[in-house]
Amino acid sequence: MQRRSFFKLAGLGTTAALGAPLVRGAERLIEKPGCVTEAAHAVPVAGEFDVIVCGAGPAGVAAALAAARRGAKTQLIEVHGCLGGIWTAGLLSWILDSSNKAGIMAELWKELEKRGARDMTSKGKGTNAYDTEAMKLMLEDLCTEAGVTVRLHTRVCAALKNAAGRIEHAITESKSGREAWRGKIFVDCTGEGDLAAQAGCGFDLGHPETKLTQPMTLMALVAGLVPSEITEYYHSEETASNWNATKDKLRAEMERGGHSPSYAKPTLFHIRDHLFALMTNHEYGVLGTSAADITRSTLQARKEINALLDGLRGLGGIWKNLRLVVTAEQIGIREGRRIHGLYTVTADDLREGRRHADAVCRATFGIDVHATDPKKLKSIEKAGFRTKAYDIPLRALIAKDVGGLMMAGRNISGDFLAHSSYRVTGNSVALGEAAGKVAATAAKTNRLPQDVKLDEAPS
């Protein structure tokens, strides 16, 4: 059996007597009313890696693939039982802002097409839809081929830094208990910036004034509909010029069935054959950083989806065979922490179409704020200006407050409005790919990410 090294968590010598202050390095742990204090214990080190990517959504998978392909010993850690994040556990089914992306994003589309997992138009062009189940296997195959070590069912719950403020270990919880993962460079792709927050990074969360975040939505897959009979209710070649009208018609049908959806613009995405994805609820006033909020939202959303679909089916006609296939394992969280980086992408960047010498992604998707306050609006808030295509610089992917830490995906450094644009998954993949490349070179050459250029491969 392999011998495992141990890391003593919190550096506590002995368990302190109840009520006495505990010491972690130079820091004092204050006993708080309503809290318990865990005793110090040794945590086994699960492995040592060049690059550790936390969170395996679109950004995390791309980061891990890019790092491993640059020769880095790469570990990918994911809390769910599959790779893909919102693409799979979240059943999103629709990829935005990907058509101008080369690299891994283009490769993923090609591979989906090869596997017959991308819906094609009558002109032989791919739509934005993909098969969520095929996506799971494809991402696993690609990671295996690239040599990424994958750990599923494992949640990152703490981070340990050295005296110089550089992150050295991520701590996880799983069926195997608590484990430590030693890395040279870490990439936080958890969406909520869990690793960075645990490491002590500064961050912003929600609207700058109200602190409210965009609502959560539970995606669902539905079947039993004949596409040619319901073209006016979903985004297709015929309705592409006025997608809004299809949403309004779908809402009217739901209301005729006896239920008004909490998202005023319910949307059907055609995936393939008779399979559709449905986005129809908004859970307001909840935080993606609160397990209680996520739980309440999930239960409410699942109840609403079932009621809406029962109502539609009850109308008979084109809806009579409508069936709920599955609701997502993970409710979709639009907004989490935006970790402070060496650069903050702002709404001004979008207004001016700003360019950067260290650009890693050209984002073209506009501002898309799902209304935070249902009393004012139940759909999308207007930005007040027209967005121009803009660059996201590498600096927005490098943590300001902690050494050796990068971010990719929706938790990079940006403001509330900018985030609502760059958060879509075509951009997440490009950001992940850039972070993975830079992390690999930094790790292999013993430098910090800010001292590395994107195209600089380790020699």
Ligand X SMILES: Cc1cc2nc3c(=O)[nH]c(=O)nc-3n(C[C@H](O)[C@H](O)[C@H](O)COP(=O)(O)OP(=O)(O)OC[C@H]3O[C@@H](n4cnc5c(N)ncnc54)[C@H](O)[C@@H]3O)c2cc1C
Q: Which residues bind ligand X (CB under 6 A)?
A: 54-60, 77-80, 85-86, 89, 92, 94-96, 155-156, 189-192, 194, 217, 219, 279, 332-334, 409-410, 423-426, 428
Smallest separation, CB 358 to ligand X (Å):
20
| Shortest Cβ 353–ligand X spacing (Å) | 21
Q: Where are the beta strands (DSSP E) in 39-176?
A: 42-54, 74-77, 118-120, 126-130, 149-151, 155-161, 167-174
Name which of 89 and 406 has its Cβ closer to ligand X: 89
At closest approach, how far in Å is the CB of 361 from ligand X? 12
Chain-centroid distance of CA 298 in Å reads 17
Q: In the complex with ligand X, which residue's Cβ is closer, 12 or 140?
A: 140
Q: How many helices (H) and strands (E) does the chain have?
A: 9, 22
Contacts of 95 (CB under 8 A, 6+ apart): 87, 109, 128, 130, 424, 425, 426
Question: Residue 437 corresponds to which tokens in the numbers above?
Answer: 């490349």
Residue 251 to residue 254: CA distance in whole angstroms = 5
| Cβ atoms within 10 Å of 205's Cβ, excluding its own | 18
Residue closer to ligand X by CB (options 12, 263) is 263
Least separation in angstroms between CB 52 and ligand X: 11
Amino acid at 51: V
Rank residues 74 and 425 by Cβ distance to ligand X and give the closer one.
425
Q: In angstroms, what is the minimal distance from the CB of 436 to ligand X?
A: 12
**By C-beta, is 12 or 142 nearer to ligand X?**
142
For residue 358, give the amino acid letter: D
Long-range Cβ pairs for the range 381-384 (8 Å, 24+): 383/347, 383/417
* Cα–Cα distance, 130 to 143 (Å, whole number): 19
* Smallest separation (angstroms) from ligand X to the CB of 91: 9
Query: Angle formed by the axes of helices 132-146 and 103-114, to 10°?
Result: 120
Quote the least distance from Cβ 154 to ligand X, whole Å: 7
Smaller CB distance to ligand X: residue 214 or 441?
214
Integer angstrom CA distances of residue 448 from 34, 399, 404, 442: 40, 11, 6, 6
Beta carbons within 8 Å of 124's beta carbon, 6+ residues apart: none
Considering the complex, state which of residue 217 and residue 246 has its C-beta at the smaller distance from ligand X: 217
